[in-house]
Homo-oligomer: A and B are copies of this chain.
């Protein structure tokens, strides 16, 4: 694995470090020693730290893109597709911490330029798919806002998983992939149900 392709090896190690500690908390020395090469070697492959960061992001984001559209077409009913979508996104967010943490870091500190890249590479296609799916399910709800809500539910459940154990009565299992999928679907279906949701409770 060492000499297969140093550049790729560097990117794998660097992206892991950046994801877990943040860009400025990780030095070129840190990366080099984790990879098992010298700092000078890093600079042979990447012009500077900024380029290493960008390349790490590209590497992770590009690698992770799966054929979502094909996946959804396997399902006939709209509801099955919704379920497949939610199941997919929860699995991505909860199952790939490296990817997910990099996304959060970009949302926090990414430049406009880098965010636009993230958007084109990662968000645009699945988001449009979701918006269309929701639009077909319900003429009532604003599809974009509902789609944002779905994504928010998944992201929030991930982020809050770290503090939930401290909050009384919140068991660890409520942050499992299955539980979150169920909860998001429950909320989504309620929202899409076209009946009087605004009644006073």
Contacts and interface: CB of A to CB of B under 8 A. Distances in A.
Contacts of A187: 149, 187, 190-191
Contacts of A162: 107, 115
Q: How large is the interface on A (under 10, 10 to 19, 20 to 34, 35 or more residues)?
A: 35 or more
Nearest to A110: B162
A183 B147 CA distance: 11
Contacts of A197: 186, 189-190, 193
A159 B155 contact: yes
A49 B123 CA distance: 37
Contact of A198 (B149, B170, B186): B186
Question: At the interface, is chain A mostly helix, strand, loop or mixed?
Answer: helix
A1 interface: no
A78 interface: yes
Interface stretch (A4-12, A17-25, A32-40, A61-69): A17-25
Interface string A111-132: 0000110111001100110010
Contacts of A163: 107, 115, 118-119, 123
A51 interface: no
Nearest to A200: B79
A66 B188 CA distance: 32
Given A119-B167, A193-B196, 4 more contacts: A22-B109, A149-B153, A154-B156, A190-B190
Interface of A: 21-25, 77-79, 82, 101, 104-105, 107-109, 115-116, 118-120, 123-124, 127-128, 131, 137-138, 141-142, 144-145, 148-149, 151-157, 159-160, 162-164, 166-170, 174, 179, 183, 186-187, 189-193, 195-201
Q: What 7 A-B pairs come out closest when comparing CB atoms? A: A152-B156, A190-B197, A24-B25, A190-B190, A119-B166, A79-B200, A190-B191
